[in-house]
Structures are given as C-alpha cells and as structure tokens.
C-alpha cells in the first residue's frame, strides 16, 4: 500500500535556548535517569543572542549514525545522547502503535545524521549542554513526529536541559517517582511576562579547566552535609518564594534571592570534600561591585549569579543597563584589541555621577572582563522552516564548517 512507502530522506532543523538557574540544581538522586535531589527554577535566555541549532536527518541510505559538533565529527556513542535517541524512538513507536493512521511514515530503523552548532564561541565558556540536548531532543521529536511532554527526554541528556525545553521562567520539579516520570519542567511564566527584565553575561578572560558539573555534584552529594540541608529544607521554601517574586515581577525579592541562592550553591561547593572552587578573585570582585552598586542606590538594582564556571550573569531591569555597563567598563577597562566590549541588545549611553564612581568603582582590573553580552528572556525551542538553514545537505553531510 501507499502507507508502506517510506520516505527516503527526512530532515528537520530546530534551535534551542540557553537557560540560567536562579534556584540552582546541584545533586542527583539517580545518576542514570538524571533525577535531582531538589527542584530548580531558571530563566530562558533569548535565542537572538545565544542559541544552538541542530539538524537531524534520517535516511535509508545512511549506513551508520553520525554526529558533527560545530563542523567536527564527534562520537555518537555517548550514553546520554544514546538515551535521548532511544527515548524519542520509544515515544514514536508508542504513538504509532496507538494510532490507525501513520502521519510520519519514517522508518525507525533508518540510521540518523545529526549536525549541531552554537551561535556563540565555545571558548566563551557558555557552551551549554542544556541548549545542546534541548535542541537535539526537539529536532529528533519533530523528525519522528513525536509531540507533547519532551522535558523528560531532554533531562536524560543533561539535567538542566529539561528547563531549556520551555521559554520564559521555568521550574524543574524534582518529582517523587523512582522512574522519573514526574521529574518534569513546566513554565512558571512566559517570556513576555516581565518585559523590563534584562540579562548581562560578563564573559571573563582566561581559565578553562575546572571540575565539570556532573562529577562535581556527585562529590557534593557524597560529602556535603550543607547540600543535604539545602535540598531538604532551604530549596523547598525558596522555590515557592522565587515563583512568587517572578509572578509579581518583584525585582527586589527576585534579585536578593537569586544572589543568595548562587552564594549557597557555591557554599555547598566549598563544603564538598575535597572542596570545589568555581568562584575566583574576579568573581568575588564582581560580587562586591554589585553590592556596592546596590548599596549606593539603596535597593537591589543588579543581581549576580554564577554556575560551574567563571562567567558572571547579572539580572537587572532595562532602565539600569546603561549605567551598570558603564560601571563595568570603568571597573574592568577593556583591552584595546578592537573586540566589541558590549554585544547583543543595544545599550544606551550613560554618564556616571562622580559620587557613584567614587563609591562603586575601586581598584580597576584592566582586561578582566572580555565582553558583556546583553540579552533578555526568550522563548523555548523553535522549528526552523527555511530549508536553506539546514546544517546538512541533501547528501546528509555537513554543508559548511563552523
């Protein structure tokens, strides 16, 4: 029958966003299923500034599964990638068994080719497995015609990836079940909810190697009593509070809690044995700067948060961006190498009052911040309609190198 006529080549391209947690995920209760010891809450960043693009193709002519990351062929056998692939195929099979009419007659036995790239330099240390796995799962799901709850699949790639499956303000519910079926992401508020909210990523110079999240959080679970207390007592209270601050667009509350939660995450790293250090002298310099800025203004104007790396992420409101960027420019005078210091959304100009300069800018560190990326909350994964945007050609091989 015509139904049995399977398509020879199918190709789908999706994009997916980076997210930044304001209530941090740190620690797993199940390493294979990637089930967290506490719920977390994040803001999805806009894809105009930071995104991953992934093309997935399936063909009866492909002889093996293949993967290209930023134009370089990579190992397709990674267990987490295989878990995502297996789960999407399982959902596709389930869907087909349950419906009389097969809308996407794409053979599940075809080999697949996947190409993925980021619109930001990997060297910037922003390379996010969250955007990567969210994008992979989105593209595979479209390829196989799977719809509905996919955060559970993205979670199998990287815990934080489940939060990149939605836009705006996203909560990852830890869930209670041992099989993880209730460990899902859901939207607290859409990206349009808080139009004035802005994010400044301070991309810092130097320093590449540190303990990865996966290994780091395992050691923390094994050794830190503070982490246990955090997961059992602190986070449940904070999560409800943070969701309320978001719903009420209360920057004072949102900012305070964001800073406190980042600081507690790094405290659990220090409480890990042997200890893990993600914050360095520059991070501490930025933290002190933010507090001096807020003290000068008499309220919370900027809030910092740091993950398992040296870049600082600053939350603020649109009316504060120009002034704070100027403060950063004075505190970390850019090296005159022609590199654009401010990137992303446009930043207006500001002249700093003398008393602000005197109170806030102490001991400038030239060149310490490479550049500032200005962005805002954004939507979840998108399907790319334009076939000229596919990263793979009709032959199933990468079109161009990154």
Chain contacts with ligand DP6 (rule: CB under 6 A): 21, 24-26, 34, 40, 129, 158-160, 213-214, 307-308
Q: Which two tokens stand for residue 80?
A: 């987490």
Q: Quick one: 14 or 154, whose CB is closer to ligand DP6?
A: 154
Q: How far apart are CA 361 and CA 215, in angstroms?
A: 37
Q: Quick one: 242 or 321, whose CB is closer to ligand DP6?
A: 242
Minimal distance in Å, beta carbon 327 to ligand DP6?
A: 26
Residues 191, 224: contact at Cβ < 8 Å? no
303: phi then psi, degrees, rounded to nearest 5? -135, 130
Minimal distance in Å, beta carbon 218 to ligand DP6?
A: 8
For 15-35, give one letter per residue: b (16+ CB within 10 A) or e.
bbbbbbbbbbbbbbbeeebbb
Q: How far apart are CA 289 and CA 331, in angstroms?
A: 8
Q: How far apart are CA 36 and CA 319, in angstroms?
A: 36
Minimal distance in Å, beta carbon 166 to ligand DP6?
A: 14
Q: Quick one: 26 or 254, whose CB is closer to ligand DP6?
A: 26
Q: How far apart are CA 266 and CA 3, in angstroms?
A: 56
Minimal distance in Å, beta carbon 15 to ligand DP6?
A: 19
Q: Quick one: 35 or 327, whose CB is closer to ligand DP6?
A: 35
DSSP run (H or E) holding 138: helix 129-143
Q: How far apart are CA 216 and CA 185, in angstroms?
A: 23
Minimal distance in Å, beta carbon 243 to ligand DP6?
A: 15
Q: How far apart are CA 74 and CA 399, in angstroms?
A: 16
Q: Quick one: 21 or 199, whose CB is closer to ligand DP6?
A: 21
Minimal distance in Å, beta carbon 189 to ligand DP6?
A: 18
Q: Quick one: 91 or 221, whose CB is closer to ligand DP6?
A: 221
Q: Which two tokens stand for residue 147?
A: 């719809």
Minimal distance in Å, beta carbon 61 to ligand DP6?
A: 33
Minimal distance in Å, beta carbon 92 to ligand DP6?
A: 24
User: Taken in order 84, 86, 89, 90, is the CA torsion positive or negative?
Assistant: negative
Minimal distance in Å, beta carbon 266 to ligand DP6?
A: 9
Q: Quick one: 29 or 343, whose CB is closer to ligand DP6?
A: 29
- Report the residue number whose CB is nearest to ligand DP6: 159
Sheet with strand 40-44: strands edge to edge: 19-23, 40-44, 169-172, 185-189
Name 2's Cβ contacts closer than 8 Å, sequence gap at least 6.
none
Q: Quick one: 12 or 269, whose CB is closer to ligand DP6?
A: 269
Q: Quick one: 119 or 218, whose CB is closer to ligand DP6?
A: 218
Q: How far apart are CA 58 and CA 89, in angstroms?
A: 12
Report in angstroms the alpha-carbon separations of 284 from 6, 278, 287, 306, 319.
Answer: 58, 11, 5, 11, 25
């Amino acid at each position: 029958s015509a139904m049995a006529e399977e398509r020879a080549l199918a190709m789908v391209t999706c994009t997916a966003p980076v997210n930044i947690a304001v209530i941090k995920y740190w620690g797993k209760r199940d390493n294979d299923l990637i089930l967290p010891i506490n719920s977390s809450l994040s803001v999805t960043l806009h894809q105009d500034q930071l995104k991953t693009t992934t093309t997935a193709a399936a063909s009866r002519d492909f002889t093996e599964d293949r993967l290209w990351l930023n134009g370089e062929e990579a190992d397709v056998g990674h267990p987490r990638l295989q878990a995502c692939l297996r789960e999407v195929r399982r959902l596709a099979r389930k869907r087909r068994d349950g419906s009389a009419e097969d809308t996407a007659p794409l053979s599940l036995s075809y080999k697949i080719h996947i190409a993925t790239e980021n619109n930001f330099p990997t060297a910037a240390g922003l390379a996010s497995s969250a955007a990567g796995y969210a994008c992979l799962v989105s593209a595979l799901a479209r390829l196989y015609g799977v719809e509905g709850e996919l955060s559970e699949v993205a979670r199998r790639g990287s815990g934080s990836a489940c939060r990149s499956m939605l836009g705006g303000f996203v909560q990852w519910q830890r869930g209670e079940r041992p099989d993880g079926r209730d460990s899902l992401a859901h939207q607290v508020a859409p990206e349009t909810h808080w139009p004035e909210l802005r994010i400044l990523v301070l991309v810092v110079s130097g320093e590449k190697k540190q303990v990865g999240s996966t290994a780091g959080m395992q050691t923390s679970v094994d050794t830190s009593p503070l982490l246990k207390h955090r997961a059992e007592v602190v986070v449940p209270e904070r999560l409800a509070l943070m969701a309320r601050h978001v719903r009420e667009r209360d920057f004072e509350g949102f900012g305070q809690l964001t800073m406190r939660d980042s600081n507690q995450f790094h405290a659990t790293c220090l409480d890990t044995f042997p200890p893990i250090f993600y914050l360095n002298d520059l991070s501490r310099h930025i933290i002190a700067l933010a507090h001096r800025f807020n003290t000068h203004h008499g309220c919370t104007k900027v809030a910092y948060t740091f993950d398992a790396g040296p870049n600082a992420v600053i939350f603020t409101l649109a009316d504060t961006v120009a002034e704070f960027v100027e403060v950063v420019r004075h505190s970390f005078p850019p090296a005159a190498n022609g590199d654009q210091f401010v990137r992303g959304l446009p930043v207006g100009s500001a002249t700093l009052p003398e008393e602000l300069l005197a109170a806030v800018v102490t001991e400038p560190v030239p060149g310490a911040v490479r550049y500032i990326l200005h962005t805002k909350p954004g939507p979840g994964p998108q399907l790319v309609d334009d076939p000229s945007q596919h990263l793979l050609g009709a032959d199933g091989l990468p079109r161009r190198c990154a």
